[in-house]
Amino acid sequence: MAAGAALEPMTRATAEEIAARNLEAATDEFTLVVERHRPQVFRFLLASTRDVDLAETLTQECFLKAHRNWGSFRGESSAMTWLMRIAINLQKDHWRNRRMQFWRHTQTNSVDMEDAGEWLPSGESSVERQLLAREQVSHVWAAVKGLSERQRTVFLLRYVEEQELSEIARATGLSEGTVKAHLSRAVTKVRTELGRQQ
Amino acid sequence: MNFGKNIGVERSERSRQAASGASHIEDLALEQTLKNFRMSVVAWSDAAYSRPRTVTQTVRRRSWRLVAGGALGCALLAGGVAGVGYERHQRQEAARIAAARVVEQQRLVREQQNLLREEQAKAEDEDLLSKVDSDVSREVPSAMEPLAQLMAENERQ
């Protein structure tokens, strides 16, 4: 009994220490996740919105939400897939709010498709080829703009983030078959847009 | 007959191969375009991600814009109200001037009519007096009638 009483404060201290250590470890872990995935999440949101400021704001919101729910992340999917899921939902909420409160932002900060196409690294051999590549990229942007929200998300996750269909399905909450169908329609639209250019 | 059939099969096979070759080339072109698209997004995203952050400036600029917008809005509102007031005052003034002009014109017409009436009355009086004068000068009292007749006979002779 006496021994038990003596042990009690020590046990409590150990539990607190463990909790503190766990919290520290979780913070370190989350810091690593932010460092590793932040550029990727930002890139996806930038490609989806074509608005640098908005993409930054949504990226910050995404990681804030992820930080709040980090404890509930059970690792069933990769951290990247989990973050993408949050980013996709935030983006959806944003467009929904924007539609409801369109009078708040009368003008969009979205970059023009041709300006977005200007960001092609000069890896092409000749000036003509570079110009052609830029033009093609602009046409892809035009096609992406015309895609539905889901088609755009699936298309960008596949061809910009180079994710597997299964990963896309997990991130979007759709079945693999639906992802395939959306992707196929998106690619057809891109192909048609490129065909119009020729 | 069989030979002809074989030629037909060969032709259709060749056209199928040609079609599949064309679609393969198309796929390669699309693949290359999508690769370029990805590179473009990555380059743009990298540049945007590593750009210097100007959060404070943006906020300041936005608040400055808000203040400027508010001030401009107030100025426009005040200007509008003042404009409406000024216009109303101008209208009232113009109406007052027009009314004064009408009154003045009526007064002048009345004066002219009075003058005309006075002149007419004067002329009528003068006519009457001259008629009376002539009538009085021609008529002779009955007592003087024989004398007047004599004077007339003398004049005839």
Q: What is the domain-level CATH number for residue A61?
A: 1.10.1740.10
Query: Half-sphere exposure of A92 toward its Cβ, with a 13 Å CA cutoff?
Result: 13
- Across the interface, of A47, A121, A140, the residue whose CB is closest to B33 is A140
In chain A, the residue whose alpha carbon lies closest to the alpha carbon of B31 is A159
Domain boundary, last residue among A49, A77, A111? A111
Residues A141 and A188 in one domain: yes
Are A191 and A159 in contact by the 8 Å Cβ rule? The answer is no
Q: How far is CA A78 from the centre of its chain?
A: 13
A90 & A33 share domain: yes
Co-location of A107 and A123 in the same domain: no
Q: pLDDT (tens digit, 9 = 90+) per residue, B54-109?
A: 655 555 566 777 888 888 888 888 888 888 888 888 888 888 888 888 889 999 99
Measured in residues, chain A has a length of 198
Are A124 and A182 contained in the same domain?
A: yes
Question: Residue B90: exposed, middle, or buried by beta-carbon count in 10 A (0-12, 13-18, 19+)?
Answer: exposed
Residues 6+ apart with CB under 8 A from A85: A170, A171, A172, A173
Q: Where are the domains of chain B?
A: 1-51
**A96-132 pLDDT per residue, tens:** 776 655 544 444 556 666 666 666 666 656 778 888 8
What is the tally of structural domains in chain A? Answer: 2
What pLDDT sits at residue B139?
A: 63
Q: B33–A121: do the CB atoms touch at under 8 Å?
A: no
- Poorest-pLDDT segment among A8-12, B35-39, B101-105, B135-139: A8-12
Tokens representing residue A112 in the block:
């023009």
pTM of the model: 0.57
Task: Report the alpha-carbon distance of residue B76 to residue B155 in Å, rounded.
Answer: 106
Nearest residue on chain B to A189, judged by CA atoms?
A: B30
What the block records as the tokens of B138 is 């021609």
pLDDT tens-digit map of A148-187 = 999 999 999 999 999 999 999 999 999 999 999 999 999 9
Question: Could you say which of B30, B36, B45 has the minimum Cβ distance to residue A120?
Answer: B36
Same domain, A172 and A182: yes
Domain span at residue A44 reads 1-111
Cα(B99)–Cα(B121) distance, integer angstroms = 33
Confidence bin at A1 (pLDDT 50/70/90): very low
Closest residue of chain B to A190, computed from CA coordinates: B30
Q: At what angle do helices A176-197 and B2-49 cross, to 10 degrees?
A: 100
Q: Does A140 touch chain B (CB under 8 A)?
A: yes
Q: Is B39 on the interface with A (CB under 8 A)?
A: yes
Closest CB from B30, B34, B39 relative to A121: B39
